[in-house]
Amino acid sequence: MASINKHATTLADGRELIYFDDADTRLGPDRAIDGRILDARPHTPTMRQDPLTGEWVSIAADRQNRAFLPPADHDPLAPASPSNPSEIPDDYDVAVFENRSPSFGPALDGANSPLGLADLDELGIGRMRTAIGRCEVVCFSPETVGSFGSQSVSRARTVIEAWADRTEALSALPGIQQVFPFENRGEAIGVTLHHPHGQIYAYPYITPRTRQLIASVERMPELFSQLLAFELESERVVLRGEHWSAFVPFAARWPLEVHMLPHRQVPDLAATSDAERDELAILYRMILRGIDRIYDSQTPDSTTPYIAAWHQAPVASHRNDIRLMLQVTSPRRAADKLKYLAGSEAAMGAWVSDVTPEHAAELVRAGIAAARADS
């Protein structure tokens, strides 16, 4: 979308910072430089292989020092001021920058880096590799509170453009196997900053969840088209547009769980069209606003904790059979109750759901109707 402008610069320690200006922005093109004196960036973490599963675990000890629930006047994601020398030196609409305390990176190569997927697939005791990659923070707004759902349609569209831009750029970096944009919302999820923001991880491997998906599509090559057709015939549909449909999945694990799929095969956000991004800005925002309206008359805190996860195809494989999918999951099972992962789910990965998917869909549709009535 040509009217969403992009300005790239660097922070004082060399990290990349990119501003994305709304189509209807009131900001000028010039941005202040980062005048801080910063410590050197932390060393790239290592990752260790669990021989019981073959999975890799990043050991990122420097993340222990990241900001934890700071007051609004010391918000590290707000535009910088004389009393708050934050990560973003000027006013902005949407800003993306490299995380100062990354789980992967900043190195993209070097000693003991992964030698490709074949190397990572080998199994052994005591195997270690450098956790190369990139972790970025996506700030949805200069405001100190909020979420994706609280943004305007124009701002939501800018965030989507930023996700698509960064997906393409990160996918092109050496050693990157998968790109994952996501938003964590609420302290119940583990959020340590209330500022409206999300993150993007660029992994040096294909994640365990996607590896399971690859096994499924190899057994059922038309999985996504068949899945979408099945769900669209069900009572679990919550929204349907020209390009996207959202539904509570047949085998939902979480009390509140909404999936959204594009109607055509696209592997990631970078492959979506302008028309698909325009509609997504409306529908995705409405889903999140609807989820917030489910319990708003029953509890003082109506905001719903969630993880909004954009599942994308790996960078170099299964581009024609793994489809871009949004999965929004929340542990909130009642106005005053949360679902906690206990023995069966946490230890064995064997889920037990407390809410039927059909009833959850009724709740989400009612919430969306209430949110529409307010807009």
CATH label of the domain that carries residue 156: 3.30.428.10
Using DSSP bridges, classify how beta strands 237-240 and 256-262 pair: parallel, antiparallel or unpaired: unpaired
Q: What is the pLDDT of residue 66?
A: 64
Do the Cβ atoms of 101 and 42 come closer than 8 Å?
yes
Same domain, residue pair 62 and 190: yes
Query: Helical H runs in 172-273?
Result: 208-219, 223-232
Choose one of 205, 227, 252: the last residue of a domain: 205
Q: Is the pLDDT of residue 28 over 50?
A: yes
Range(s) of the domain holding residue 314: 210-374
Do the Cβ atoms of 159 and 18 come closer than 8 Å?
no
Q: Is the pLDDT of residue 63 over 80?
A: no
Same domain, residue pair 140 and 216: no
Same domain, residue pair 350 and 241: yes
Same domain, residue pair 165 and 301: no
Same domain, residue pair 291 and 259: yes
Tens-digit pLDDT profile for residues 216-237: 999 999 999 999 999 999 999 9
Q: CA Rg, the chain, in Å?
A: 21
Q: Is residue 31 very low, low, confident or very high in pLDDT (cuts 50, 70, 90)?
A: very high
Q: Is the pLDDT of residue 318 over 90?
A: yes
Residue positions annotated with a catalytic role? 197
Q: Is the pLDDT of residue 62 over 60?
A: yes
Same domain, residue pair 180 and 270: no
188/161: higher pLDDT:
161
Tokens of 244: 């996207």
Q: How many domains does the chain have?
A: 2
Q: Is the pLDDT of residue 301 over 60?
A: no
Q: What is the mean pLDDT of residues 17-42?
A: 95
Q: What is the mean pLDDT of residues 109-124?
A: 96
% pLDDT > 70, the chain: 96
Same domain, residue pair 241 and 152: no
Same domain, residue pair 13 and 62: yes
Closest by CA to 149, choosing from 186, 193, 109, is 186
Q: What is the mean pLDDT of residues 329-342?
A: 91
Q: Is the pLDDT of residue 118 over 50?
A: yes
Same domain, residue pair 217 and 122: no
Tokens of 337: 């109750």
Choose one of 149, 174, 205: the last residue of a domain: 205
CA distances (Å), origin 9, targets 88, 201, 256, 365: 11, 20, 39, 43
Same domain, residue pair 368 and 290: yes
Q: Is the pLDDT of residue 372 over 80?
A: yes
Q: What is the mean pLDDT of residues 248-269?
A: 98
Strands (E), the chain: 5-10, 16-21, 46-49, 56-59, 94-98, 128-130, 134-139, 178-185, 197-203, 237-240, 244-247, 256-262, 306-311, 325-330, 332-334, 337-338
Q: What is the pLDDT of residue 1?
A: 45
Same domain, residue pair 158 and 283: no
CA distances (Å), origin 71, targets 18, 94, 144, 145, 193: 25, 21, 9, 11, 9
336/283: higher pLDDT:
283
Q: Is the pLDDT of residue 302 over 70?
A: no
Q: Supply the mean pLDDT for the chain.
A: 94
Choose one of 205, 234, 263: the last residue of a domain: 205
User: With 0-12 CB in 10 A as exposed, 13-18 as middle and 19+ as buried, what is 165?
Assistant: middle
Q: Is the pLDDT of residue 252 over 90?
A: yes
Q: What is the pLDDT of residue 189?
A: 87
- Least confident stretch, 231-235, 241-245, 292-296: 292-296
Q: What is the pLDDT of residue 64?
A: 63
Residue identified by tokens 């999951």 is: 329
Q: What is the pLDDT of residue 187?
A: 85
Same domain, residue pair 237 and 358: yes
